[in-house]
Amino acid sequence: MPIATLDVRSRNRQEFIPMTSELQRAVETNGWMEGALLVFNPHTTAGLTINEGADPDVKRDMLVALSRLIPERGDYHHAEGNSDAHLKASLMGSSVTLPVVNGRLKLGTWQAIYFCEFDGPRSRQVQLTFLQADSSR
């Protein structure tokens, strides 16, 4: 099947949650071999990004700098009080697309895939779609 879902649980209002090993496992479980994995986030106050996975200070620095740019409180009209989370979600993006070669996510040495929570804690879910590489040659 080309479609699957993956659950994510956030524990703080803002948090970058690593998903790389769960995604690699999903690729193996589903027998996806050659192509690209579309990871799609169906929530409007969360995003997805790829960045360094080795030093946790990187995600800390990214979240602090993002929140300095887009404060939680400001001249917002949206009554739910999470307008900052909506904009941060769009800045990170709603999906990542990852090359898969011989059943392995083809990431760089330092890369990790992060679920970007901006209005947690919440139970979240991402959708996985496997796209076929061209096999005509």
What is the phi-psi region of residue 24: left when phi exceeds 0, alpha when psi lies from -120 to 50, beta otherwise? alpha
CA distance 107 to 32: 16
* Residues 109 to 128 in contact with a copy of itself, rule: CB under 8 A: 109-111, 127
Amino acid at 38: L
Element (H, E) at 7: strand 3-9
**Cβ atoms of 20 and 106 closer than 8 Å:** no
For residue 62, state whether it binds a copy of itself (rule: CB under 8 A). Answer: yes
User: In whole angstroms, how close is the CB of 11 to a copy of itself at the nearest point?
Assistant: 20
For residue 73, state whether it binds a copy of itself (rule: CB under 8 A). Answer: no
Q: Which stretch binds a copy of itself (CB under 8 A): 6-14, 17-25, 105-113?
A: 105-113
Member of 6, 20, 67, 70 binding a copy of itself (CB under 8 A): 70
Q: From 110, 102, 129, select the one nearest 23 (Cα to Cα).
A: 129
User: In whole angstroms, how close is the CB of 46 to a copy of itself at the nearest point?
Assistant: 10
For residue 19, state whether it binds a copy of itself (rule: CB under 8 A). Answer: no
CA distance 28 to 42: 23
* Residues 26 to 45 in contact with a copy of itself, rule: CB under 8 A: 30-36, 38, 40-44
Q: How many residues does the chain have?
A: 137
* Nearer to a copy of itself (CB atom), residue 13 or residue 49: 49
CA distance 117 to 113: 13
- Residues in contact with a copy of itself by CB under 8 A are 1-3, 30-36, 38, 40-44, 49-52, 55, 57-58, 60-62, 64-66, 69-70, 74-80, 83-84, 86-87, 89-99, 101, 106-111, 127, 129-137
